[in-house]
Structure 1
Amino acid sequence: MNQTSGFDIVFSSYEFLRPQKHVLAVFIFLLYAAATLANIFILFVIYVESSLHKPMYIFLFNLICCGLMGSSAVWPKVLSNLLTDWHVSSYEGCLVQVYLLSVYAACTYTTLTLMAYDRYVSICKPLQYHVIMKPSKLRLWLILGNLVPALSIAGQIYLTSRIPLCSRTLNKLFCDNLSIINISCVTGRIGLLSNVYGLLIIVCLSLFPTCLILLSYVKILSVSLRVSKVGQKKALGTCIPHLIVFINYSIATVFSVIYNRFNVPRPSEMNVFISVQITLFPPLLHPVIYGVRTKEIRKCTAKITRSLCKSVSSYYTSKLKVAKIFSIS
C-alpha cells in the first residue's frame, strides 16, 4: 500500500471494548482529570511560592509540564474515540501524536537526569552547589534538555513519515512510533536509516541518561554511608521521591518498548493496561509522590490551601452580608 497524505489510521482495539467502553471512559476521565488538576496545582504552588524557586523544584516544574504534554496528547483523543463509533485518526494527526509522546518520553529522561545531578551536587558537593547550579547554567541545561529531544524526535518523525505503510490498522488505542513502524513496509535505505536513527535516539535519550542517573545515585550512596545517621536520613529524604518517579517511569518505558517491539497478537485489555501505565500513571504519581514525600512542597501546599479556603470563606461571608443589608432595606 503506497503512502499518501490525507488518509486515516483505524484503531481496531476499540471494537473489542464496546461492552465496557463507557465504564472505561469514565475511569480514564476521572484519572486524567485528577492527574491534570493535581499537576496544575503543584505547578501553581511552585510558581507562586518564592521559597520553591530552587533548581530542584524548577526541574520538577519542567517534569510536570512534560507529563501534562504527554497525557494530553493521548487521552482527550482516546476519550473521544470511546464515546463515539468513529475510531480513527488522520495520518498527520497520528504523526503529531507520535511526536508529542516521543518528546514527552525523551524530555522526561533528560529532566530526571538533571534532577539526579542536582541531588548529587547538593549532597556530594554542598559547598560548590550555588556555583555549579547558578541560574545561567540552569537556564542553559533546561533549554538543552528540552530542545535537543524536540529536534532529535523531529528527525525521527520525518523519517517515519517517509516510509510507506502496508496497513492502515493499529491494534492500539492511540499512535506511537513503534506501532507505525510495525505496520510500515520497512524496506530500502529509508527503512534502514529510520531503524538506525531510532536506535540511536533510544541510546542517547534513554539509556545514556539512565546510566547517568544510576551513577549519580551510586555516588550519593557512597557519600551518605560516610556521614551520620541524621545526614543519611536527610539525604535519603530528598532523593526518595525522585528515585520512586525514576523507577516507576523506567519500568513503564521498558515494558512499553518490549511490548511494542514484538509485533504479536495481544488482547485488547493488555493494550489498555500498557497505554495507562506509560502515559497516565506517571503524570498522576508525580504530584502524589512529591506532594507527600517532599516537606517543602507539603508545607507550601498546606499554606496555599489554607489561604484559598480563607479567601473563599471571606468572599461568601461578604456576599452574605450584602444580601442581608438589601433584605433589611
Structure 2
Amino acid sequence: MGNGSNPTYFYFVIFENQGYTRYIFFILGLTLYLTILIFNVIILLVIYVEKMLHRPMYLLISCLSFNSLYGTAGLFPRLLTDLLSDVHTISPSSCHIQTFVIYTYASCEFTILTLMAYDRYVAICKPLQYHSIMTPSVLIGMTTTALFYPMFCFGSLIVVSSRLQLCGNEITKLYCSGLSVLRLSCEEFAPSYILSFIVAVTTVFIPMVYILYSYIRILIICQRRSSEFKAKAFHTCLPHIVTFVNYSIAVFCEMIITRYEPWELPEFVIVILSLEFLIVPPVLNPLVYGLSFLEIRKKINNYLRKNLILKIILTLFRLF
C-alpha cells in the first residue's frame, strides 16, 4: 500500500495463528454474551413491568443495563464471527461504526453513573427536596443529555478521524478503536488528538470527579447522622460505589494499554486489558443491583417461581 492511500479494509492481525483454540474461545465468548444478555434483560424486564420500581434510582439502573446491551452488541457479534471465520477483515465504514458504539458505550457508562451519584446525593443530603428536584421531566432531560452528548462528541471525533490519510490497515486489537486508526495515519494530525483530549475530559474525567465529589459530600453528611441513617445510606450507595470502582479500574486498564505499542506487551495481556471494560461491568452490574436491592431481588424470585426467567432464557437461545 502506497503512502497516503486509504485502505479498502482493515485487518485484525490478532486473530492470526489461533488454530483450533479459536473454537474454545468462541464457546467461551458465546456463553459470556448469552450470560450478559440474560442478566441485563432480566433487570430491564423487572423494572419495566413493575410500576413500583418506576423511580429515578431504578430507571437509571435500567439505563445502565440497556447501555451494557448496547456496548456488548458492538463487540460480541463481530468478535464471534471473526473467531469462526478464516478472513478477519472489516470495511472502514463498519470499523467506524464499531468504534462509535464501543466508545459511546464507555462514555455513557460514566455519564449514567454520574446521574446515579447525583440521585443518591439528593436523596441522602436533601431528602425533603428529593421529589421536587428529581421530577420526571428533570430525569428525562438529564438522561437524554447523558446519552446523546457522548454520541455527539464521539460522532464528531470519528468524522474527523475518517478523513485522515492512512498508510496501513493492520489493527492489533480484537475490535476497532479510534486510537488504532489514528496510529495508521501517515502523519501526526493534531486536531484529532486535541478533540480526543477534549472528549475524554468532558465525558470521562469530569464525570469521575463529580462522582467522587458526590460521595465525599455524602460521607460528610453521614458522619453527622445516626447509626441507622449511616447504615441505610451505606446500603443504597454501596452498589453504585462497587459499580463505579469496578468500571473505573476497567477503563484504567484500557488507558494503560493505549500507552504501549502493540509489540511491547504480550498478546494475552492486550486481549485481557482491552476487553475488561466491555465484559466485566455488563456481567457484574446486574448481579450487584439484583442482589443488593431487596425490591429487585424479590421480583426476580417471583419471576423464578413463575418460570418467567426460564422462558426469557429459552427465547434468547432461540435467537442464536
Answer yes or no: same fold by TM over 0.5.
yes
- Which residue does 1:91 correspond to in 2? 92
Residues 46, 299 of structure 2: 8 Å contact kept: yes
Report the equivalent of 2:314.
none
Checking the alignment, whether the CA contact within 8 Å between 1:63 and 1:111 is kept in structure 2 is: yes
Indicate conservation of the 8 Å contact 2:72/2:279, yes or no.
yes
Aligned to 2:6: 4
Asked if the contact 1:113–1:212 (Cα under 8 Å) also holds between the matched residues in 2, the reply is yes
Q: Which residue of structure 2 aligns with residue 82 of structure 1?
A: 83
Q: CA deviation at 1:16?
A: 3.9
CA distance in 2, matches of 1:37, 1:62: 16
What is the CA deviation profile of residues 43-87 of structure 1, one whole-angstrom value per residue up to 9, with x for unaligned ones? 000000111100011111111111111111011111111011111
- Does the 8 A contact of 1:249 with 1:278 survive in 2? yes
Size of the aligned set, in residue pairs, is 308
Instruction: Tell me if the contact between 1:186 and 1:192 (Cα under 8 Å) persists in the aligned partners.
Output: no
Structure 2 counterpart of 1:272: 271
CA distance in 1 between counterparts of 2:94 and 2:259 reads 22
| Distance change in 2, residues 1:3/1:112 (3 Å) | farther
Q: Secondary structure at the match of 1:17?
A: coil
Which of the two has higher C-alpha Rg? Answer: 1
**CA displacement at 1:25 relative to structure 2:** 1.0
For the residue of structure 2 that corresponds to 1:239, the secondary structure is: helix
Matches within 5 A, 1:246-261: 246-261=244-259
Match of 1:301 in 2: 300
1:211 is paired with a residue of what secondary structure?
helix
Q: 1:217 to 1:172 in 2, by over 3 A?
A: same
Change (3 A) 1:112 1:309: closer
Name the counterpart of 1:112.
113
AA of the residue aligned to 1:295: L
**Comparing 237-246 with 262-271, which one deviates more in the overlay?**
262-271
Q: Cα deviations across residues 219-262 of structure 1 (Å, max 9, x unaligned)?
A: 11111111121211111111111111111111111110221232
Q: Work out whether residues 99 and 154 of structure 1, in 8 Å CA contact, stay in contact via their aligned partners in 2.
A: yes
- Structure 2 unaligned blocks of 5 or more: 312-320
C-alpha separation between the residues in 2 aligned to 1:93 and 1:159? 16
> Using the alignment, how far apart are the partners of 1:225 and 1:201 within structure 2?
36
Identity rate, percent? 35
Once the two structures are TM-superposed, the CA of residue 309 in structure 1 deviates from its matched residue by 5.7
Instruction: Determine the C-alpha separation between the residues in 1 that align with 2:66 and 2:167.
Output: 36
Contact 1:112 1:213 in 2 (8 A): yes
Check the 8 A contact 1:16/1:268 in 2, yes or no.
no
Q: Report the Cα distance in structure 2 between the residues aligned to 1:170 and 1:311, rounded to whole angstroms.
A: 40
User: Which residue of 260, 263, 285 maps to 2:261?
Assistant: 263
User: What SS does the corresponding residue of 2:18 show, helix, strand or coil?
Assistant: helix
- Which position in structure 2 is the counterpart of 1:126? 127
RMSD of aligned C-alpha atoms?
1.7
8 Å CA contact retained: 2:257, 2:274: no
**CA distance, structure 2, for counterparts of residue 276 and residue 17 of structure 1:** 18
Give the equivalent residue in structure 1 for 2:240: 242
Specify the SS of the correspondent of 2:306. Answer: helix
When residues 233 and 310 of structure 1 are mapped into structure 2, their CA distance, relative to the original with a 3 A threshold, is closer
The ranges of structure 1 where at least 4 consecutive aligned residues each deviate by more than 3 angstroms after the TM superposition are 307-312
Corresponding residue of 2:19: 18
Mean Cα deviation higher: 300-309 or 20-29: 300-309
Indicate the residue corresponding to 1:38 in structure 2. 39
How far apart in 2 are the matches of 1:275 and 1:27? 17
SS in structure 1 at match of 2:11? strand
| Cα distance in 2 for residues equivalent to 1:33 and 1:12 | 26
Q: What amino acid sits opposite 1:43 in the alignment?
A: L
